[in-house]
């Protein structure tokens, strides 16, 4: 079931005639799925690139192995570079890149526990970023991430003229 915030965000994008694209790691396609589930939203969606494995971040998004090793694939720094790469690969009015840890086995640490999510993007040319934290199963963390991203975008979109 798609959250109210995703539906409201999609309707606002439609009203403002804006497009959106995603670079998804931790959400593994959930963002594009949620946004595409709202009627008439094919008009706003450019697409999504699921870049779960670090090799995709390196090869497709041209993020160096050194950067990934230094910061980890699930980091604010790598997420910012994904957003920048997405602008080049799939231009849209709204760019959203997301990485994070929904389950154990990644780069979790006491400072970055499972449930930590990094989001970077652009609304028009204005960059934005946030770090989120959620608890629950992997599915619950990913669902909360989708809902939070839609809420953040909706808040920012209401400020646009």
Domain ranges of the chain: 4-157
Give the CA distances from residue 104 to residues 50, 110, 138, in Å, rounded to whole numbers and listed in that order: 19, 12, 9
- Which helix or strand (DSSP H or E) is residue 139 part of? helix 138-157
Mean pLDDT of the chain, nearest integer: 96
Query: What tens digit of pLDDT does each residue of 46-90 get?
Result: 999 999 999 999 999 999 999 999 999 999 999 999 999 999 999
Which CATH architecture group holds 4-157?
Answer: Alpha-Beta Complex (3.90)
Tell me what pLDDT residue 159 has.
86
Burial level of 25, CB count in 10 A (0-12/13-18/19+)?
Answer: buried
Query: 20 — alpha (psi -120 to 50), left (phi > 0) or beta?
Result: beta
Q: State the pLDDT at residue 130.
A: 97
Question: Stretch 16-23: mean pLDDT, rounded?
Answer: 97
């Amino acid at each position: 079931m798609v959250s109210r915030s995703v539906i409201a965000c999609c309707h606002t994008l439609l009203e403002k005639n804006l497009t959106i694209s995603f670079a998804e790691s931790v959400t593994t396609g959930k963002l594009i799925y949620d946004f595409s589930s709202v009627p008439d939203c094919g008009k706003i969606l450019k697409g999504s690139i699921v870049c779960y494995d670090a090799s995709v971040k390196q090869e497709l998004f041209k993020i160096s192995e050194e950067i990934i090793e230094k910061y980890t694939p699930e980091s604010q720094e790598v997420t910012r570079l994904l957003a920048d790469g997405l602008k080049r690969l799939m231009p849209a009015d709204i760019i959203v890149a997301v990485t994070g840890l929904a389950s154990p086995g990644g780069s979790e640490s006491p400072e970055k526990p499972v449930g930590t999510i990094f989001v970077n993007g652009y609304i028009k040319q204005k960059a934005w970023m946030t770090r989120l934290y959620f608890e629950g199963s992997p599915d619950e963390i990913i669902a909360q991430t989708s809902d939070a991203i839609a809420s953040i975008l909706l808040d920012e979109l209401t400020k646009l003229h």
